[in-house]
Amino acid sequence: MADDTDFLVSTPLPEGKNLVGVFGATSLVGTCLLPMLTEAGWRVRAFSRKVVDPLDDKVAWQLISSSSFPLEESVSYWIYLAPIWVLPDYFALLETQGVKRLVVVSSTSRFTKDDSTDPEEQAIALRIADAEARVQEWAKNRGVEWVILRPTLIYGLGLDKNISEIARFIRRFGFFPLFGKANGLRQPIHVADVAGACLAALQAPCAANRAYNISGGEILAYRDMVSCVFSALGRRLCLPIVPLWAFRLAVTVLRCLPRYRKWSTAMAERMNRDMVFDHAEAARDFDFKPRAFVLSAEDVATEHSS
C-alpha cells in the first residue's frame, strides 16, 4: 500500500456524465486503456500506488492509500486491472462511490496452472478462481453489473512479462531452450486488444454478469511463437532441445538472477501443453476482434531490456 497520504488529485476533471474509475492504471493494460477511454469520450479517474504526471486533462490521478477516501463526485463505472485477488479490499470503496458496473481483468491462468507441478503456480490459480467467485457473489448481493475478462498470454510494447522476457533471454544468451517438441498451442493476445476488450465490455449491455475468455487472433505452437521472437530481433534461430533434468538445473541457476527468480520447470512442461481458448462469446457480445500474432519492433524494443 502507499504511504499515509490519503489521495492525490493531480488535475481536476472537466464536467461531464461519462466518468470511469480505473484501478491499476499504470499497468501494461492501463497504459493502452487510458487513451482509448478518453478518445471514446470518457473522463477517467486513474488510481495508482505511485505519483504520475498528468498528460491528459481528461484523466485525474489519485494515489491509493491504505485508508478509504472520498471523491468529489460518484463514480458508477469501474475497470480493475490490478491482481484480482486484491479487489475484495476495495469492495467498500466501490460501494460508497455508487458502483453500477465493474469490468475486471482476470487470467486464463486459473485454468492452465490449476494442475501445475509447481505449488506456487497452483496457489495462484486457486487465488484467481477464489477471487472471481468473491467478485461475482459480492456484485450479485449489491446489484452491481460485473464483467470478468480472462486474457491468455499478454504481450506488447516490450513491457510484458511473457514475449518480452523471451526476447530478453535471447538477447542475453543467443538461444532459447525448449523441452521436448514444444508443440503446445498458444494464442498470444496483444495488450492493446485486451485494453480494447475492457472498453467494449464496459459499454456493452449484453456483457453484464458474464465472464469471457479473450485470446489472440492466431493459434501457433510454442516453438513457432519463440521463433517469431528470434525473427523480430533479427537473430539466428537457435532452439536447443534439452531434457527436463537439464532444464531443471538451468532454472535453479537462473533463479539466482532477480529477473528469472519466478521461472520453474513447470514452464518447460507447459511448452507441450495446448493452452487455447475460444473467444467466440466475446466476439458475439462486444465485437471482440483480436489481431494475429505479428511482433513489431516496439514489442521487442531493446530500450526496455536490461
Residues 262-301 have pLDDT tens digits of 767 777 788 889 999 999 999 999 999 999 999 998 998 7
CA distance 155 to 131: 24
pLDDT the model gives residue 231: 96
| Chain-centroid distance, C-alpha 271 | 20
For 102-121, write each residue's pLDDT tens digit: 999 999 999 998 887 778 88
Q: What's the mean pLDDT when you consider all of the chain? A: 86
Hey, how many other C-beta atoms are within 10 angstroms of the C-beta on 26?
17
pLDDT the model gives residue 73: 75
pLDDT the model gives residue 56: 67
Could you state, in order of their start, the residue ranges of all structural domains in the chain? 19-300
250-289 CB burial, b ≥16 within 10 A, e <16 = bbeeeeeeeeeeebbbbebbbbbeebebebeebeebbebe
Q: What CA–CA distances, in Å, run from 224 to 42, 154, 172, 219, 264?
A: 39, 16, 20, 10, 21
| Chain-centroid distance, C-alpha 125 | 15
Residue 67 has φ and ψ, to the nearest 5°, of -110, 155
pLDDT the model gives residue 250: 74
Gyration radius (Cα) of the chain, Å? 20
Q: Which fold has domain 19-300?
A: Rossmann fold (3.40.50)
Reported pTM: 0.87
pLDDT the model gives residue 12: 47
